[in-house]
Amino acid sequence: MTALRAGASLAARVTTAPVNNRTARVVLGSVDPAGPLAPRAAVILAAVPGWWRERAQAAGLDGQWLDVMTAVEGPITAEVADLADVPDPTINDLDGYGLGGAYVGALTPTVRSRHGRHYTPQHLAEQLWQMTRRSLGATAKSRMLSGLVRDPACGAGALLLPVVQEQVRALRRVETPLALAGLPAKIEGIDNDPQAVWLANVILAAEMLPLLAALPTRLRRPLPALVRVGDGLAADLSPARAVLMNPPYGRVRLEEADRERFAKIVYGHANLYGLFMGAALDTLEPDGALAALVPTSFMAGRYFTNLRRTLATTTSLRDVAFVASRDDVFAGVLQETCLSVFTRKRALRTKVTRIEDTPRAAGAQQSTKGQDSPPQETLRQTLREAVQEVAQVKTPRKATPWLLPRRSDDAAIAAAANALPLTLAEAGWKASTGPLVWNRRAEDLSTTASTDPATPSAQVIWAADIDGGTLHRDRARDSLRHLALTGASDLKVMVLAGPAILAQRTTAPEQPRRLVVAGLSAADLDRWGGRVVVENHVNVLRPITPPDVSSGTTAETPAMSHEGLLRLLSTTTMDRVMRCVSGSVAVSAYELETLPLPGRDVLAAWEQLSGQELEDAVSRTYRPVTTS
Amino acid sequence: MTFRTLPTREECSARLAMIFPRAAFDPVHANPLAAASVVALIYVGAVAPEQSPVPDDQVWARPSMCLRMSDAVLARNSDQDRTAWREAMLTNTKKKVDDLMAQWGVRAEHWYADNSRETLRDETFTRWLDHGAIRERPGLPTSSSKPRWALASEFADLFAPTLTGPALEQTIEAWRSTHMDPGDRLRIATAQQRDQATHAVRVTMPDGSTRTLEPGTASRILKGVVEQWAPARLHDPVVLTISEPSRKILVADAAVLTRLGLTIDQATLLPDAVLVDIGANPVEFWIIEAVHTDGPISDRRRDDLLKWAEEQRIKPETCHFVTAFESRNSQPARKRLKDLGTGTYAWFLDEPTRELSWHEIAEGPA
């Protein structure tokens, strides 16, 4: 499930409020400023004047321009003003990205996770800007921006760095004093962490130093501040040509007014990053673009249904780049991330690319290092540039999960699946998640079944029991095999008393399949006392109306039998379809229900097939009709 | 060599659409021009093993061979005719081809005009390369006009006329699963890169580390500059950047650049190499152009480079310029020496101990 990465720069709007004993959910709109400065963060900020001095000197400036406090406009917080000027050679060696990253890295883990302050790696920041300018129709040449570029949660300014760099390049041949003064009209960053805002202004201003140095002394003015302290979700932001963001994540509780404002994009739980994307849409100019570095959960999750509908109907997903490894971007988060660019202008096709994980891929090469292998740097360079083209697919237009291939070998399947008429739910099957959360019921779990009819128990089915695609009893779970049905509603909500298809809700990355299913047959149920309890790492698929052959109402009956569907879901092709729905190891009940299927006649024909015959038939169906 | 049986253009088109369906891939993977190329490459026998080293007698093709194919030529499909047409095309002289056409009594109606070759080379072939469907001749400089393309044999197999029905579908599926998986793509790319590296020019940097550059004369000249000119001419040389036609390589690490107060923007990297003499006081920057096909550092080029240097926060007064040639006798040197910019130097790979200086005479007697 969604890892809780609450509120990057939204600190001022966000505070934690315990919802229950398990999760703390932040409330949008409540106030908690950035909080006390972590000691290490203070050390880094104290080194910034030295960092600036070195750069200003290198640019050929002197005097007042070496003093960051006078050379750069913008607000200076009391914390920053009080800092001693303590140069640090290790900080001096960092570039703008590095300095911003060091600041975020120096925040205390609590602040970092509570406010979701994460930094953006350079290669992703540059890639996102390249994708944005391409979708805005810019050519390879550096050029002046034709409209405002905003990052509503800019942190230390990483996403704006490539934008400023391009502007500075484009400005070299323009009248510089005017051009510099005009920059704030072209580039705007917003963040609620005043320290980060100051740092971002310094980092971005450092890029303008060559322009300042090129001016006659009398024309030199302090460098403009491009970033301000504020609320990136505010409703009254001016229209923008492009909005870039690496927004904070995490579920938030909305106040009534906010819920109303975001009604179009929120469905059930609200996630901060979804709010940022939705709010940005409202500020886009007619030919504008939204470019976001975000988790891919919005492409398939149930709670993002409304956001997907809004995005799919009011914009076109122009360009999406899946980031092949997460640990590079957000350490320890098991979430797939992507760079997505949406434009107001309509596009028919979406370009799908894949950005390879640089550090690990380069590291893997070390083992093959030999006399004739290319040098490390060359390979790493190749890999860094490895933005692999995956596919060009039809632009998603609906609120249902977007089927987007992560790899070229899934591209054809995704395209074909998109054109199929039914979903699993429409074919008459519903999916739900197993109700047992074991650690909430730890005291009711035991090794043996109850023998006392007054305190009945039921056998528990664990996710591990369906490893390998057949239902079995995993030894490791034997100590927690039986649940005493002590709760008042246990007999109603906990037990499963009919045949079903069970599917693992999360799989380990090393497992060969994402779709791991096994059948729970009537015989299994008989053997286990007529009922079982399914734990919550398992999804349960059941027919919406139990098949009743005698009634003859075929339209109402599920399109496939229990056995037939089980065989179908076990095919290689269906596993690959699932991978196009969700890039993560998780398979939610909602995603299962939206699996695309062919018409009832085809499903009826598949009912008769098994083994290789079925594999072939399914694989043929999930192949696009070729037109030449 | 044995030629493969020729598929028809229509069949190639249909199969390309099965391999790269339009619903999922950019059309350039499988457009009519791509289909024509498959036929033409098979016709001339430009089919290379996918990963193993290419044999010495490997046939390579130019994009022009695909464009200038015609139905009339395709109809002459004996081994002898195919060899004859290929040989005529390889000479790259219009007359040879015209003669052959006259001899065959056919009119040369090309499928495509010559200016379609950019699309083919830069879009279709580049994307095919990415999937290991085509091979590029290893060890050939990027600027070389020699033929460099051949279909990968496993990809060519998919167009065998004898392969039909379910067997065809299965073979295509098998090819897709081994050529579109990211891991497989990396494996193929790495193998071919390694092949390329055996032909590469290895340069030893002043600090003892080595770099490889693309094969070619420009790379050999740069090697000479780094290994011979720099140690002889500079007090304590450090190589900042060195580039090859298809790639800019940043040699110095971020820490060195920051110490020097530089930000080298790789996207706009202009010179072929930038060396720094950190033994000089103040530090001096040497901007090198290795001239094999491009022009030398002329007055205008010098001004452009100065502007570039300024952008990278290099002070103009610390910049020096060297144009490096293969030899005073080489064609580029004989043609271009006259364009040498004032205040720059020239150096020749075959006379490494000398240097040519082209400067204004200082006012008054020395």
pLDDT at B345: 95
Angstrom distance (rounded) from CA A152 to CA A148: 12
Q: Would you call B180 and A409 a contact, using CB atoms and an 8 Å cutoff? A: yes
In this prediction, residues A439-461 reach a mean pLDDT of 86
pLDDT at B310 over 90: no
For residue A451, give the amino acid letter. Answer: T
Angstrom distance (rounded) from CA A620 to CA B169: 9
Read off the DSSP letter of residue A413: H
**Residue B246, exposed/middle/buried by CB under 10 A (0-12, 13-18, 19+)?**
exposed
Q: What are the pLDDT digits (tens) for B212-243?
A: 888 888 888 999 999 999 999 999 998 888 88
**Which two tokens mark A362?**
């380069």
pLDDT at A574: 94
pLDDT at A382: 46
Strand partners, A518: A502
pLDDT at A374: 39
Quick one: CA dihedral B333, B336, B339, B341, positive or negative? negative
- Which of A352, A380, A612, A628 should one mutate to test binding to chain B, selecting the residue with the greatest count of B CBs within 10 A? A628
**Which two tokens mark A518?**
């096994």
The DSSP line for B41-91 is HHHHT-EE-SSSPPPTT---B-HHHHHT--HHHHH--SHHHHHHHHHHHHT
pLDDT at A30 over 60: no
Confidence band of A430 (pLDDT split at 50, 70, 90):
very high
Residue bearing tokens 């109306």: A545
Nearest by CB to residue B261, choosing from A55, A407, A620, is: A55
Chain A: give the shortest CA distance to residue B24, in Å. Answer: 5
Read off the DSSP letter of residue A137: T
- Is A386 within 8 Å of A350 (Cβ atoms)? no
pLDDT at A384: 45
Nearest by CB to residue B182, choosing from A388, A414, A418, is: A388
Residue B179: how many CB atoms within 10 A of its CB? 22
Angstrom distance (rounded) from CA A455 to CA B24: 58
Q: What are the pLDDT digits (tens) for A367-407?
A: 333 333 333 344 444 444 568 889 999 999 999 999 999 88
Chain A residue with minimal CA distance to B316?
A60
Using alpha carbons, select from B219, B227, B220 the residue that is nearest to residue B243.
B219
Whether the ω angle into residue A546 lies within 30 degrees of 0, i.e. cis, is no
In this prediction, residues A452-479 reach a mean pLDDT of 88
Number of residues in chain B? 366
For residue A454, give the amino acid letter. Answer: A
Residue B9: how many CB atoms within 10 A of its CB? 18
Mean pLDDT score across all residues of chain A = 82
pLDDT at B158: 96
In this prediction, residues B246-275 reach a mean pLDDT of 70
pLDDT at A476 over 90: no
- Is A46 within 8 Å of A156 (Cβ atoms)? no
Chain B residues in contact with A60 by the CB 8 A cut-off are 315
In this prediction, residues A512-537 reach a mean pLDDT of 91
pLDDT at A115: 67
pLDDT at A29 over 60: no
pLDDT at B74: 92
pLDDT at A409: 87
Q: What are the pLDDT digits (tens) for A108-150?
A: 777 766 666 777 888 889 899 999 999 988 876 767 888 999 9
Look up the pTM and report it.
0.81
Chain B residues in contact with A361 by the CB 8 A cut-off are 186
Q: Would you call B14 and A209 a contact, using CB atoms and an 8 Å cutoff? A: no
CB contact A382 to B (< 8 Å): yes
Task: Give the contacts of A1 (CB within 8 A, at least 6 positions apart).
Answer: A586
Helix axes A611-621, A600-607, angle to 10 degrees: 160
Q: Would you call B258 and A389 a contact, using CB atoms and an 8 Å cutoff? A: no
- Is A149 within 8 Å of A170 (Cβ atoms)? no
Q: Would you call A411 and B254 a contact, using CB atoms and an 8 Å cutoff? A: no
CB contact A325 to B (< 8 Å): no
pLDDT at A470 over 80: yes
pLDDT at A365 over 50: no
Chain B residues in contact with A161 by the CB 8 A cut-off are none
Angstrom distance (rounded) from CA B271 to CA B234: 19
CB contact A626 to B (< 8 Å): yes
Confidence band of B2 (pLDDT split at 50, 70, 90):
confident
- Chain centre distance of CA B142: 2
Mean pLDDT score across all residues of chain B = 87
Angstrom distance (rounded) from CA A161 to CA A602: 53
Residue B129: how many CB atoms within 10 A of its CB? 17
Chain B residues in contact with A354 by the CB 8 A cut-off are 182
Q: Would you call B176 and A405 a contact, using CB atoms and an 8 Å cutoff? A: no
- Which of A357, A409, A623 should one mutate to test binding to chain B, selecting the residue with the greatest count of B CBs within 10 A? A409
Least confident segment among A212-216, A481-485, B14-18, B209-213: B209-213
Nearest by CB to residue A374, choosing from B13, B186, B193, is: B193
Angstrom distance (rounded) from CA B244 to CA B293: 13
Strand partners, B212: B202
pLDDT at A328 over 60: no
In this prediction, residues A200-204 reach a mean pLDDT of 96
Residue B362: how many CB atoms within 10 A of its CB? 7
CB interface of A with B, residues 24-83, below 8 Å: 54-55, 57-60
Using alpha carbons, select from A194, A154, A189 the residue that is nearest to residue A12.
A194
Using alpha carbons, select from B320, B50, B89 the residue that is nearest to residue B185.
B50
Confidence band of A60 (pLDDT split at 50, 70, 90):
confident
Q: What are the pLDDT digits (tens) for A279-312?
A: 999 999 999 999 999 999 899 888 999 999 999 9
**CA end-to-end span of chain A:** 43
Angstrom distance (rounded) from CA A609 to CA A620: 14
Angstrom distance (rounded) from CA B264 to CA A462: 56
Nearest by CB to residue B194, choosing from A55, A60, A374, is: A374
Confidence band of A12 (pLDDT split at 50, 70, 90):
very low
Nearest by CB to residue B182, choosing from A169, A354, A394, is: A354
Q: Would you call B24 and A405 a contact, using CB atoms and an 8 Å cutoff? A: yes
Chain A: give the shortest CA distance to residue B105, in Å. Answer: 33
For chain B, percent of residues with pLDDT exceeding 70: 93
Q: For the sheet with A316-323, list strands across it.
A: A227-229, A187-191, A149-151, A240-245, A284-295, A337-343, A316-323, A349-355, A387-394
- Which of A408, A613, A620 should one mutate to test binding to chain B, selecting the residue with the greatest count of B CBs within 10 A? A408
**CA end-to-end span of chain B:** 71
Q: Would you call A411 and B24 a contact, using CB atoms and an 8 Å cutoff? A: yes
- Is B37 within 8 Å of B140 (Cβ atoms)? no
- Chain centre distance of CA A382: 26
Chain B residues in contact with A367 by the CB 8 A cut-off are none
pLDDT at A272 over 80: yes
pLDDT at A366: 33
**Residue B281, exposed/middle/buried by CB under 10 A (0-12, 13-18, 19+)?**
exposed
pLDDT at A330 over 70: no
CB interface of A with B, residues 212-231, below 8 Å: 214
How many Cα atoms are found within 13 Å in the side-chain-facing hemisphere of A105? 13
pLDDT at A156: 92
Strand partners, B274: B241, B287
Chain B: give the shortest CA distance to residue A485, in Å. Answer: 48
Q: Could you tell me how many CB contacts below 8 A there are between chain A and chain B?
A: 129
